[in-house]
Amino acid sequence: MTAINVTQGSGTSVFTLPYIPLGYQQITSLSAVQTLAVPIGATAALIMSEIASVRYRDDGTNPTATVGMLLNAGGSPLLYAGNLATIAFIQVAAGAVLDVLYYK
């Protein structure tokens, strides 16, 4: 955990952030199913889709362009804290890009 000291007026508050950053990945080829390159120790990922929407599944079955949970391009990012080794993605339309931040 990361502690941050914040001075407000005459006092100091300490806030503990719930996650420690471990890395970043950008996936630009999503015409076929892609999985994550998970850093050692990562337990969560913040995932955002750019340009085109993607679909994902984490149940051991690959998503398709029409089946799976939809992650809209430019929408709210997905904070995923499940088994990072099992989540898989595929683009709904050409040109999708995934940005992934890893945390523990």
- Topology (CATH) of 18-103: Jelly Rolls (2.60.120)
pLDDT at residue 58 in the model: 97
Confidence of residue 15 (pLDDT cuts 50, 70, 90): low
Tens-digit pLDDT profile for residues 50-66 = 999 999 999 999 999 99
Confidence of residue 92 (pLDDT cuts 50, 70, 90): very high
Sheet holding 88-91, edge to edge: 34-35, 88-91, 54-57, 69-71
- Alpha carbon dihedral 40, 41, 44, 45, in 10-degree steps, equals -30
- Distance of alpha carbon 9 from alpha carbon 7, whole angstroms: 6
pLDDT at residue 4 in the model: 44
pTM: 0.82
**Residue 81 confidence (pLDDT) above 80:** yes
Instruction: Count CB-CB contacts under 10 A for residue 35.
Output: 13
What is the pairing mode between strands 44-50 and 78-80? antiparallel
- Distance of alpha carbon 58 from alpha carbon 73, whole angstroms: 19
